[in-house]
């Protein structure tokens, strides 16, 4: 295990270190005794600890000590199965894993520390990459006046119902209502116009990390469709279209990294159709993921070239090197907390969340497994030493020494929270100078010699990261259908597939496909035209119009 792999899995800061809890209670209940080897199956561990507690308490003679009794496994598992009731399963997972708490305003959710740790990991990566590109952070206000917002009225029109307004302060109505930003073009661009004068002021490349509000009316879903969400929005201005074009793709590549390298989710990079692009821009590129269980595509992040549309609207002009007046070329791009929802949907299973090691707040959890007559002090010492060794190697490790929960309960708890690797330490492990490691993704168990802890745990985490990606890619690829005719298209759509089809690239035809596939589950639309285009044999016809096909495009239902 090279340092490279370790540093890949390392997260900046040690947010999740906790001091060890006092062991005295358990120690006094179980008492030091000669090590008994693992003669009892691990699953019985919790029964044993429960018995020990009772015995210890009985001998202590104090009635109120009984309260320390080990909790039974109640209410820990999921009641819904991923393959049977996906929507309910998802809601249950995000809550039971302690990522989300529901809030009393529909479409608004509390993002708990388990979620924020993931968001912060993505932020640290992306922010560092932006700095390499000389893109600087700024912060613009949350509010925007009606006047400025409407400056953009051509494209805002379609979005207008989603804009939330502040109309009152205390008991008095505001003279003019103030909008809450749904995105910040109108907030920022008047100042771009002010700050950009000559070619020396270009490029102007800003990013902001913030929240935005879109008052959605369709069914809210944590992370995926919420009325307030966190994102970064990048807004840049260049002297030339070439520079803008290049940045669009550089940013898209970072979005690909976030999905594929951090969240272990395969995505397709491509261009949006005219109908699906950001109406205010010139062209839109995106990374598209797919959720096999629902058969829906999901736009993972977008990187737009705005062309000169906004420059004209907001009069963002400059004097070029020849002393002539020119308009800037602009881009805007964003990814949001939706990324985390996609991760839950793609990797989660019937035991709960499954976290890719690179984003997990806790990559390894160490659980002591007390057995009858075991030397508890030795077990706890081994747990502490394991934590120490792995933390020194740069991994994010926690230990669960709570004395009022059984090992079995802890296993379920950390499985629900998706911790990639569990290390169990019992008497037999101590006798053999090893630990038992259990993978969250596939349940594989292995014994790791103490002397090779850092090295082997690092390797296992890398292997989990890789295998999550490969499994997700296999499942995604199994859902892709390449079709040529309308009949094949309908069959594939009914089978909830992501469909790669030869298309004439005409807006009217896409509208027609939408119309013809309208139904309870929603209409089919284009997801993207992949940059990676298969060969299009001469004479290939559009699956929907029968006209000559120009491109291969992904179609499907989507979020
Ligand atoms: C909702 C209400 C008002 C999306 C909205 O993608 C306006 C809008 O402009 C709106 N929903 N959009 C498009 C956002 C475009 C663009 N903004 C900067 C991005 C990336 C970040």
Stated as kind and residue range, the H or E segment containing 327 is strand 325-327
Domain 480-558 in CATH 3.20.20.10? no
Tell me the C-alpha distance between 255 and 156, whole Å.
26
Q: How far is the CA of 327 from the centre of ligand 1 (A)?
A: 22
Q: Are 263 and 343 in contact (CB under 8 A)?
A: yes
In the chain, CATH 3.30.110.30 sits at 480-558
Answer yes or no: is the C-beta of 129 below 6 A from any ligand 1 atom.
Answer: no
Taking only the tens place, the pLDDT of each residue in 305-359 is: 999 999 999 999 999 999 999 999 999 999 999 999 999 999 999 999 999 999 9
Using DSSP's 3-state secondary structure scheme, residue 321 falls into coil
- The class of domain 113-142+191-346 in CATH terms is alpha beta
Tell me the C-alpha distance between 249 and 410, whole Å.
45
Using DSSP's 3-state secondary structure scheme, residue 67 falls into helix
Q: How far is the CA of 332 from the centre of ligand 1 (A)?
A: 10
Cα 557 to Cα 163, 297, 449, 469, 551: the distances in Å are: 25, 6, 49, 23, 19
The whole-model pTM stands at: 0.88
Taking only the tens place, the pLDDT of each residue in 419-432 is: 999 999 999 999 99
Average pLDDT of the chain, as a whole number = 89
Q: In this prediction, what percent of the chain has a pLDDT beyond 90?
A: 83
Answer yes or no: is the C-beta of 255 below 6 A from any ligand 1 atom.
Answer: no
Nearest C-alpha neighbor of 363 from the set 386, 345, 346, 381: 386
Q: Which of 183, 287, 305 to mutate to test the pocket of ligand 1 (most atoms within 8 A of CB)?
A: 183
In the chain, CATH 3.40.50.800 sits at 364-470
The residue whose two tokens read 């002090």 is: 377
Q: Which residue CA neighbors atom 15 of ligand 1 most closely?
A: 278
Report the DSSP pairing between strands 551-558 and 296-307: parallel
Whether the upstream peptide bond of residue 203 has omega within 30° of 0, thus cis, is yes
Cα 114 to Cα 258, 414, 451: the distances in Å are: 18, 12, 31
Q: Are 150 and 156 in contact (CB under 8 A)?
A: yes
Answer yes or no: is the C-beta of 144 below 6 A from any ligand 1 atom.
Answer: no
Residues counted in the chain: 559
The residue whose two tokens read 């707040």 is: 361
Residue that wins the pLDDT comparison between 170 and 28: 170
Predicted local confidence at residue 183, as pLDDT: 97
Tokens standing for residue 450: 């103490």
Q: Which of 135, 159, 233 to mutate to test the pocket of ligand 1 (most atoms within 8 A of CB)?
A: 159
Taking only the tens place, the pLDDT of each residue in 496-517 is: 999 999 999 999 999 999 999 9
Q: How far is the CA of 127 from the centre of ligand 1 (A)?
A: 21
Taking only the tens place, the pLDDT of each residue in 246-276 is: 999 999 999 999 999 999 999 999 999 999 9
Using DSSP's 3-state secondary structure scheme, residue 104 falls into coil
Task: Return the HEC string of 468-494.
Answer: HHHHHHHHHHHCEEECCCHHHHHHHHH
Which residues have CB under 8 Å from 346's CB, separation 6+? 263, 264, 265, 289, 291, 472
In the chain, CATH 3.30.930.10 sits at 113-142+191-346
User: In terms of CATH architecture, what is 364-470?
Assistant: 3-Layer(aba) Sandwich (3.40)
């Amino acid at each position: 295990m090279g340092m490279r792999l370790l540093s890949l899995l390392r997260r900046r800061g040690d947010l999740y270190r906790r001091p060890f809890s006092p062991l005295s209670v358990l120690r006094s209940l179980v008492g030091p005794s000669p090590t008994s080897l693992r003669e009892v199956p691990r699953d019985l561990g919790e029964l044993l600890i429960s018995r020990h507690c009772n015995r210890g308490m009985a001998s202590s003679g104090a009635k109120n000590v009984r309260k320390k009794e080990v909790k039974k496994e109640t209410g820990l598992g999921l009641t819904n199965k991923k393959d049977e009731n996906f929507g309910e399963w998802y809601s249950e997972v995000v809550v039971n894993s302690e990522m989300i708490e529901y809030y009393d305003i529909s479409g608004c959710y509390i993002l708990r520390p388990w979620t924020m740790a993931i968001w912060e990991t993505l932020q640290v990566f992306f922010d560092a990459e932006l700095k390499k590109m000389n893109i600087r952070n700024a912060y613009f206000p949350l509010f925007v006046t009606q006047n400025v917002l409407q400056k953009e009225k051509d494209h805002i029109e379609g979005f207008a119902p989603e804009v939330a307004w502040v109309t009152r302060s205390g008991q008095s109505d505001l003279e003019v209502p103030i909008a809450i930003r749904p995105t910040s073009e109108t907030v920022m661009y008047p100042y771009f116009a002010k700050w950009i004068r000559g070619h020396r002021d270009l490029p102007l490349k800003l990013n902001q990390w913030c929240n935005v509000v879109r008052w959605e009316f369709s069914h809210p879903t944590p992370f995926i469709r919420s009325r307030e969400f966190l994102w970064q929005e990048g807004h840049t201005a260049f002297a030339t279209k070439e520079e803008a074009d290049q940045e669009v793709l550089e940013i898209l590549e970072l979005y690909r990294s976030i999905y594929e390298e951090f969240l272990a989710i395969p995505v397709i990079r491509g261009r949006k159709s005219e109908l699906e692009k950001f109406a205010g821009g010139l062209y839109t590129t995106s990374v598209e993921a797919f959720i096999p269980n629902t058969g829906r595509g999901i736009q993972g992040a977008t990187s737009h070239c705005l062309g000169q549309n906004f420059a004209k609207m907001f009069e963002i002009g400059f004097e070029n090197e020849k002393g002539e007046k020119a308009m800037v070329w602009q881009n805007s791009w964003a990814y949001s907390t939706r990324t985390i929802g996609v991760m839950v949907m793609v990797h989660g299973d019937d035991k709960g969340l499954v976290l890719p090691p690179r984003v997990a707040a806790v990559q390894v959890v160490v659980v002591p497994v007390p057995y009858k007559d075991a030397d508890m002090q030795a077990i706890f010492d081994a747990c502490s030493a394991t934590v120490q060794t792995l933390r020194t190697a740069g991994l994010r490790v926690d230990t669960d020494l709570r004395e009022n929960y059984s090992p079995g309960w802890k296993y379920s708890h950390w499985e629900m929270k998706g911790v990639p690797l569990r290390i169990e330490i019992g008497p037999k492990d101590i006798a053999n100078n090893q630990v038992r490691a259990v993978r969250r993704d596939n349940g594989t168990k292995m014994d790791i010699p103490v002397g090779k802890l850092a090295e082997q745990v690092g390797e296992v985490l890398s292997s989990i990261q890789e295998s999550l990606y490969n499994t997700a890619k296999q499942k995604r690829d199994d859902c892709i259908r390449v079709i040529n005719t309308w009949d094949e298209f309908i069959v594939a759509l009914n089978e909830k597939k992501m469909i790669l089809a030869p298309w004439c690239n005409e807006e009217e035809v896409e509208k027609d496909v939408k119309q013809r596939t309208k139904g309870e589950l929603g209409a089919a639309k284009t997801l993207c035209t992949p940059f990676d285009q298969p060969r299009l044999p001469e004479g290939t016809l559009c699956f929907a119009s029968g006209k000559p096909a120009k491109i291969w495009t992904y179609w499907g239902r989507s979020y």
